[in-house]
Amino acid sequence: VELYYRTQTVTYGKENSLIAAETRYYINTANIAQIIEAYIGGPSKDHLRSPFPSGLEVKNLTVNSTSAEIIFSYQLAELSGIDLTIAGACLQKTIIALTGVKEVTISAENTLLNSQEKITIKDNGLILLDNEIVSLEDMVEEVEETFEFKV
C-alpha cells in the first residue's frame, strides 16, 4: 500500500518535492480503519514526516464505492492554511490509492476546519506546484480574472 507523507525537506523542480509515498505491506488490506490508524502514526522513513498533529485519532470512517468520509478527533483542527492543505492532500492520495474512491471528505469531531464543517477533496482536485498548492477552483478563478474580456 502506498502511504503519502510530507517530505522532511522541500525541494523545488523535482518529483516528490513536497509529498512522497512510503510503501507498506499489509496481509489484510480490507481493514482500512486499522491501516489509516497506523498511517497517521507517521512514516518509518527518515526523509518523510507526518503532516498530522500528534494525538490525532480516527473517530469514524465510512467508505463506499465512490467516496470516503473520515471524522478525526479535534486535533485535526490544530492544522490550518497550507499545513491543512498538505495533510488533506497526503490523506486524499493515500485513501484513493488504498480504496480507489473518487473523493475524500475530512472533518474534525465537534470543531471546524478553517471555518468549515467538512472539507472534500476530489481525485485530482489539487495541483501540486513547485512552490505552492493550488486548488483547481482557485486556478480557474485566477485564469478567469486574468482573461476578462469586455465587449
pLDDT tens string 35-83: 999 999 999 999 899 999 999 999 999 999 899 999 999 999 999 888 8
Tens digits of residue pLDDT in 128-148: 444 444 455 554 554 444 444
Cα→Cα distances 16→9, 66, 92, 146, Å: 10, 26, 16, 30
Written as one letter, the residue type at 143 is: V
Cβ atoms of 72 and 59 within 8 Å: the answer is yes
Its pTM stands at 0.76
Rg (CA), the chain: 16
pLDDT at 120 over 60: yes
